[in-house]
A = this chain, B = another copy of it.
Amino acid sequence: EGRSPRPLKIRRQTVLVNEIKGKPLIIASPNDDITDVAKRLVQNNVNHLPVVDSDNKLLGIVTSWDIANAVAKGENRLKDVMTKKVVIAREDEPVDVIARRIDKHEISGLPIIDKNNRVKGMITAEDISRLMCVRNVEEGV
């Protein structure tokens, strides 16, 4: 008998946040009004904008869902509908961890923050869904 053989282990490579090809960074400022933010979302075909200061530090996030919320409540200013407590992703985190975070917080996108706390981009559930189909093709499933 002796030592049992090391179990065969299939290791999938961990994909990190900064390996995902996201869209170019589009931002909003807290003083923007809702109509301008809505136009920016539509023109860039995105659902999420990080709200940043002049130094590109994160102040909040606004999504098209927040625009719906502004319509529902009759608000006009971004300040009043943006989310200020933001769930973020770090550049060196594994994407699986982000998938769990999206699930846990029932959100659909997270700003990606670098070591200097500056906003680098967004990672969304669509990006992760896309990754799944790429992985399955590579694995031949």
A residues with a Cβ closer than 8 A to B are 8, 10-12, 14, 34-35, 37-39, 41-42, 45, 47, 63-65, 67-72, 96, 99-100, 102-103, 106, 108, 124-126, 128-133, 136, 139, 141
Contact = CB atoms under 8 A, between A and B. Distances in A.
Given A42-B68, A108-B124, A128-B129, 18 more contacts: A8-B8, A12-B136, A37-B68, A38-B72, A41-B72, A42-B69, A47-B47, A47-B64, A47-B108, A71-B71, A96-B136, A99-B130, A99-B133, A99-B136, A102-B130, A108-B126, A128-B132, A129-B132
Given A47-B65, A141-B11, A132 B71 contact: no
Contacts of A34: 71
Contacts of A96: 132-133, 136, 141
| Tally of this chain's copies | 2
A106 B130 CA distance: 10
22 contacts: A10-B10, A11-B141, A12-B141, A35-B72, A37-B68, A38-B69, A38-B71, A41-B65, A41-B72, A42-B72, A47-B65, A67-B68, A70-B71, A71-B71, A99-B129, A99-B136, A106-B126, A108-B124, A108-B125, A124-B125, A125-B125, A129-B129
